[in-house]
Amino acid sequence: MKTRIVAEWKTVLSERLSALQSSQTAARSGTRVDGEHRPSNRGERAAVTSQGYLAHGLGERALALQENLDNLEEMGTGTRSKVVVGALLTLSFEEASPSRIVLLPGGDATILTIDQQAVQVLSASSPIARQLRYAEPGDALEIERGGRFVEVEILSIE
């Protein structure tokens, strides 16, 4: 199942990267200044500058997404025994039914549905992952979640 989750996450990141690159190209075209297309007033010059900043910001975000894709490739899909990058966790928060969380590069709390099961994608630097770092199956911990402390049990790690 983890292989399918990683493949789906790679697809999501790739689609986001493609959309960002298209937006960056569109923003960059708004910065065009040549012999026939020159800003004639202060407002137009400000708009060109704003488009330049937008293109730069989108470019930085695209670089971060590409880095996440590269890290995802390097990570592999092998089994983990502790809460680390690449781990697929089944957690029980107090009385609630078990939750599935996977720690992947670029994780942003997106929920993927694989085999009719919801899996939340978090980064290894997310608050929950930091609090559970290096925990093992069977461990029960008290963590802060949503501004209050809750008990969580690690049912399994893949």
CATH (one of 1.20.5, 1.10.3470, 3.10.50, 3.30.310) for 88-157: 3.10.50
Q: What is the pLDDT of residue 96?
A: 82
Secondary element (H or E) of residue 158? none
What does the alpha-carbon distance between residue 11 and residue 34 come to, in Å, rounded to a whole number? Answer: 38
Domain-by-domain residue ranges, the chain?
Answer: 2-75, 88-157
Average pLDDT over residues 84-92: 95
What does the alpha-carbon distance between residue 156 and residue 79 come to, in Å, rounded to a whole number? Answer: 11
pTM (2 d.p.): 0.81
pLDDT digits (tens, 9 = 90+) for 99-148: 999 999 999 999 999 999 999 999 999 999 999 998 999 999 999 988 99
